[in-house]
Amino acid sequence: MLQNSAKTVARRAGLARLVASAARGTRSISVTSPALAAEVLSGTNLAKRIRSTAADAITVKQNEVPGFKPSLVIIQVGSRPDSSAYVRMKLKASKESNIHCEVIRLAEDVSERELLNHIEKLNDDTNVHGVLIQLPLPKHIDEVKITNSVVSAKDVDGFDRYNTGELAKRGGQPLFLPCTPHGCMKLLEESGVELSGKHAVVIGRSDIVGTPVAAMLRNADCTVTIVHSRSTNIPEIVRGADIVVAAVGRPNFVKGEWIKPGAVVIDVGINYVADSTKKSGQRLVGDVEYETAKEKASFITPVPGGVGPMTIAMLVENVKLAAERQLQKESQLARITPLPLKLLDPVPSDIAISRAQTPRHITDIAEELGIKDSELEPYGHYKAKVSLDVFKRLEHRRENGYYVLVAGITPTPLGEGKSTTTMGIVQALGAHLGLPAIANVRQPSMGPTFGVKGGAAGGGYAQVIPMDEFNMHLTGDIHAIGAANNLLAAAIDTRMFHEATQGDKALYKRLVPVKKGKRSFSPSMLKRLSKLGIQETNPDSLSEEEAAKFARLDINPDTITVKRVLDVNDRFVRGVTIGEAPTEKGFTRKTGFDITVASELMAILALSSDLHDLRNRVGTMVIGSNHQGVPITTEDVGCAGAITALLKDAIKPNLMQTLEGTPVFVHAGPFANISIGASSVIADKVALKLAGRPVGSDARKGFVVTEAGFDFTMGGERFFNIKCRASGLKPDVTVLVATVRALKLHGGAPDVKPGQSLPEEYLQENVELVRAGCANLAKQIANAKTYGSPVVVAINQFSTDTAEEIEAIRQEALKAGALDAVPTNHWAQGGIGAENLAHAVVKAAASNESTTPQFLYDLDQTVEQKLTTIAQKMYGADGIELSDLAKEQVKRYESQGFGNLPICIAKTQYSLSHDPKLKNVPSGFTVPIREVKISAGAGYLYALAAAIMTIPGLPTHAGFMNVEVDEKGDIEGLF
């Protein structure tokens, strides 16, 4: 600390005269020594003050943000005494400054690769703000490579190539200044010396001190000279310096006679010299001969107690700064840079539009969303998987964004554009209204893509791109589901075969074999033992009765619910006989195939909250019952762990983008007929945090827009009653997509069929047909409002629609209780064509203060009561009729303890009823339930109404007939 005394005043007066002379161009001035005897620049006192200020600032921030805790990790290789001493000082200073600090100590002979592995883990750890490599490192390790491996945002030493490069540039902006040079500059600042225009000499050119301090002095407008071991006439050069920074590492190298009267001396050196008067036999000195230099200098730093404490103080300041930056970055709302659209008229094909747009690199979109590099796994340039660590990081730091559900009225076979509307809303919100907005959609099955339905990327100028990658393979999640499902199917049949061909002892012996002289139960086996009430965990200690009870699942083949799957619309495997090969010894069984997205594993993927939850759900899947009526699970079969292993990557949501560069999460693809028909709970939770705002902030929240398969009566009903029960989330607003075409159909116009020309009624104005069909729209609005969700109707326009027809829909929607009804033309105009709809969604979401989901039925009702409630309240039916088989299944599930699960009905999407011929709002019908099946792992039951199928077939002219690959390798013909 500088002393405020008469002597100090005199010194400063002398220095002032020196500075004034220098300003007039005089390089040196002769003044008497007493007036210029050096004042000590105490780094100890200044450092203490800096650390205290940092500690106070951290405490204040922690009061504002309880989770704020700056954290430093020091990696020390070997056990050099000097390094250990420095590490102890850094630990002590960190603790005093309210910074969490830990040390990773590695052996002297640690490999470079192992050291890099530690650094990479710390780079990825969001709880670590600063990473410091204690130098020097052993000779077998490349210091430059190691220091450059620390990510720039955590390089609190300021040594990596980005920070050093930016420091070296004129006007550069390093994230961190290197600690020792920064400490030197702080000491110069404390001296009060005006640096601009001064001549500074830096002795030493190391990357740690000499070179960076020279750059910092140059940036302060000093004229800088660097001298080093090969420089000639060093004393003469130093004599011309107004500021001397000695960092050469040689004791007492700089002599007092070299120092210009009134110069400021910063001594960075730390050297030990022999001293018999000291107990240790040595004492610490700097690079400057202190006793002679202090008689010439105006200010001088002591050794020890000068630059050393400042180095640690600047480290503390850098760690605090790193933590504040990370907090600020995590507090920023997502800001997406949109892609411009070049709209053409007439609108080209979907694949042509997709191909014409150059997507943004997915890493750029992830960065703007606030996803860290360590949380992203790119698959090529335009798609990536996102780690669930994002949600863990933001769970308690962010409020959720607004949650928007897109559903529809009862559609025509041509579809009414829910996916297109979903993309249009998000493009409008994100690219035109400047709000954080993310679309969450299902991954499409390749079955419909190559069949008659086509892809599910949206269409026109409101779609996911690249649409060919979206519709085919993506990142392989559906293939993983297929492999896992078929493993389970094979395990079930194999287990039945082995039980039928072996006695109890042989079966048990083979199930629990001796390996390396020891027998042990697998984790799944231990769970089965617990389920059976067998406490013994030593395989050799079970009684014969216990061993037989454990080994024999005794599956009743007639109760097996698991079929094999494939992602193709193959009608010829709906029913098959397996076991026909002679090696199966006559053990045949009739079964069949489902489409992959109908697998219960797909529903589990969609409804799980994390990997642990997925593992538990997989284990509780009921694959059938034994002959005594006891349910048999995947855990009993012993392959729950293997299935989870196959799905460990599939559980991560996929990130893509719209045509206008706004983000899209694509995850899970549960079959809309028999399952929830929506994207995953995980994707919704991750997206809601990314689109949300920091806890306690009053910033505008962003939006997550997702969709429900088919019309609201099917997709919306199970979205609320099944998905919202699993997630605990509730949509803030429901958007119902309606078209003139569909309402004309419900108003009495002739049927429309894919591949055939539209009847004249759809091409000419007919307001009466539209108004008559609006009864279906009114019913869907009423259905949505049952769950407490405000409704906005999106009138998806077609070129043949007239203003009078659109206005009729708007009037009828408002009369039925919708908050708004907005014409939208995103198919032809992209986000700009959905701006009015986006404004309506924003207004509706902000008006809904209720966040508690409302459900249609109570879980403690009987299965039949729940089915009746759905049929009556959602469909308008008189009731239901259970077949004998369905009655038997319901009785079994209720006796097994599954009666309290939610339930959905698999039926046609083309009518509110079970009969596709019954249009508009039919009445006086009864819904026939032919079967009731269980998805215990997914957590619901589902009933099959009428003749619904779980694997579609291909039409005469299928979509695959149009698909080709051109000479460039681009896919053509998708629609």
Residues contacting residue 66 through CB under 8 Å, at least 6 positions apart: none
Cis status of the peptide bond prior to 304, with omega within 30 of 0: yes
- Helix or strand holding residue 899 (H, E): none
Q: Give the pair of three-digit tokens for residue 570.
A: 């193959």
φ/ψ of 318, rounded to 5, equals -65, -40
Indicate the pairing of strand 243-246 with strand 264-267: parallel
269, 203 in Cβ contact below 8 A?
no
The neighbouring-strand residues paired with 736 are 407, 793
Axis-axis angle for helices 504-511, 544-551 (nearest 10): 70
**Rounded Cα–Cα distance for residues 228 and 471 (Å):** 64
Q: Where are the alpha helices (DSSP H) in 514-557?
A: 523-532, 544-551
- The partner residues of 927 in beta bridges, in order of sequence, read 880
DSSP state of 373: G
Other Cβ atoms closer than 10 A to 752: 18
* Closest CA relative to residue 411, chosen from 148, 183, 739, 650: 739
3-class DSSP state of 678? coil
Q: At 198, which amino acid appears? A: K
Three-state SS at 501:
helix
Distance of CA 538 to the CA centre of its chain: 43
Q: What does the block give as tokens for 823?
A: 């014409």
The answer to whether 681 and 388 have CB atoms below 8 angstroms apart is: no
Catalytic residue among 61, 90, 418, 563: 90
Neighbouring residues of 606: CB distance < 8 A, sequence distance ≥ 6: 667, 668, 669, 670, 675, 676, 678, 679, 680, 681, 723, 938
What is the DSSP pairing of strand 282-285 with strand 271-274? antiparallel
For residue 70 the two structure tokens come to 């700056």
Closest residue by Cα to residue 94 from 280, 293, 313, 255: 313
Measure the CA–CA gap between 387 and 392, rounded to whole angstroms.
10
Q: Of 450, 349, 351, whose CA–CA distance to 961 is shortest?
A: 450
Q: Is 554 exposed, middle or buried (0-12, 13-18, 19+ CB in 10 A)?
A: middle
**157 catalytically annotated:** yes
Could you give the angle at the alpha carbon of 106 between the alpha carbons of 102 and 107, nearest 5°? 155
Rounded-to-integer distance, Cα 104 and Cα 708, Å: 50
> Residue 456 and residue 709: Cα distance in Å, rounded?
11
Question: CA end-to-end span of the chain, whole Å?
Answer: 76
With tokens 């219960």, the residue in question is 600
Q: Where are the beta strands (DSSP E) in 723-867?
A: 733-738, 791-796, 820-824
The active-site residue out of 61, 76, 134, 383 is 134
Q: Are 562 and 502 in contact (CB under 8 A)?
A: no
Alpha-carbon gap, residue 297 to 938, rounded angstroms: 79
Query: Residue 136: is it exposed, middle or buried by C-beta count within 10 angstroms (0-12/13-18/19+)?
Result: middle
Q: Which two tokens stand for residue 672?
A: 């809309």
Task: Quote the CA–CA distance of 629 and 527 in Å, as a whole number.
Answer: 20
Q: Are 603 and 618 in contact (CB under 8 A)?
A: no
For helices 835-847 and 418-427, what crossing angle results, to 10°? 80
Q: Which of 76, 154, 155, 157 is catalytic?
A: 157
Residue type, 759: P
- Residues noted as catalytic: 90, 134, 157
